[in-house]
Chains A and B, each alone.
Chain A
Amino acid sequence: DTEVTQTPKHLVMGMTNKKSLKCEQHMGHRAMYWYKQKAKKPPELMFVYSYEKLSINESVPSRFSPECPNSSLLNLHLHALQPEDSALYLCASSQDGGVGGNQPQHFGDGTRLSIL
């Protein structure tokens, strides 16, 4: 079992809906990440939070809005998504400290999102 928990496991939504993906970890990690993974492709980084502050936004469209309410939780708010946004959305966390970020990222099992 993964120590990073993501809910829901599956989500189907229309293009006009608003929904949120949730991620939780209790490992005391202070860096948290959102990735998008299309079928038969590697994960692609979307956002990085370090100590609850947004540190990296990889030019993600504004219809994806991340939020880090506290050190254990990470949300991804979705609004007006397009069919091409259908993918597996993965959350990860890592210890944050020292130079170079040389700590492994631990992944949840993802939310499989389908946009109708």
Chain B
Amino acid sequence: GESVGLHLPTLSVQEGDNSIINCAYSNSASDYFIWYKQESGKGPQFIIDIRSNMDKRQGQRVTVLLNKTVKHLSLQIAATQPGDSAVYFCAENNAGGTSYGKLTFGQGTILTVHP
């Protein structure tokens, strides 16, 4: 999972396995959370989001779980494919009541999917 440190956490899985990427966020006032996927040479790509009044949200092959008690976020990817290989970032939003976002990103996790 993600944590502050000098090296990005890594996760290696076999094609077809399920992947779980974890993230600890820091601000208990954050009310909106996003997972991004970043492939080499590209910008972060939106995967799924969740608001603080929810604890689970599902998308296509992805599920995000939010545990506000321990300030923990996870991304589950079902039937992982080689194309899922990338760096995954969680991001927390604390816009302080404004109408725009102010994202703070986690350190990222490198996911490698082996055929």
For A31, the chain B residues whose CB sits under 8 A away are 99-101
CA distance A45 to B49 in the complex (A): 19
CA distance A102 to B31 in the complex (A): 8
Which of A11-19, A62-70, A77-85, A89-97 participates in binding chain B? Answer: A89-97
In contact, B43 and A96 (Cβ under 8 angstroms):
no
Chain A residues 69-116 with CB under 8 Å of chain B are 90, 92, 94, 96-110
Q: What's the least CB distance linking A105 to chain B, in Å?
A: 6
Chain B interface helix/strand/loop/mixed: loop
In contact, A103 and B43 (Cβ under 8 angstroms):
no
Q: What's the least CB distance linking A45 to chain B, in Å?
A: 7
CA distance A63 to B42 in the complex (A): 25
Size category of the binding interface on chain A: 20 to 34
In contact, B89 and A56 (Cβ under 8 angstroms):
no
In contact, B100 and A96 (Cβ under 8 angstroms):
yes
Chain A interface helix/strand/loop/mixed: loop
Contact of A105 among B42, B101, B104, B106 (CB under 8 A): B101
Size category of the binding interface on chain B: 20 to 34
B56 at the interface (CB under 8 A from A): no
Which of B14-22, B64-72, B78-86, B90-98 participates in binding chain A? Answer: B90-98
In contact, B51 and A48 (Cβ under 8 angstroms):
no
A25 at the interface (CB under 8 A from B): no
- Per-residue 0/1 for B35-60: is the Cβ within 8 Å of any A Cβ (1 yes, 0 no)? 01000011111100101000000000
For B104, the chain A residues whose CB sits under 8 A away are 45
Q: B: which residues have CB within 8 A of A?
A: 8, 31-32, 34, 36, 41-46, 49, 51, 89, 93, 95, 97-108
* 17 CB < 8 A contacts A-B: A2-B45, A45-B102, A48-B102, A50-B98, A55-B98, A94-B100, A94-B101, A99-B99, A100-B93, A101-B95, A101-B98, A102-B31, A102-B49, A107-B36, A107-B45, A109-B42, A110-B42
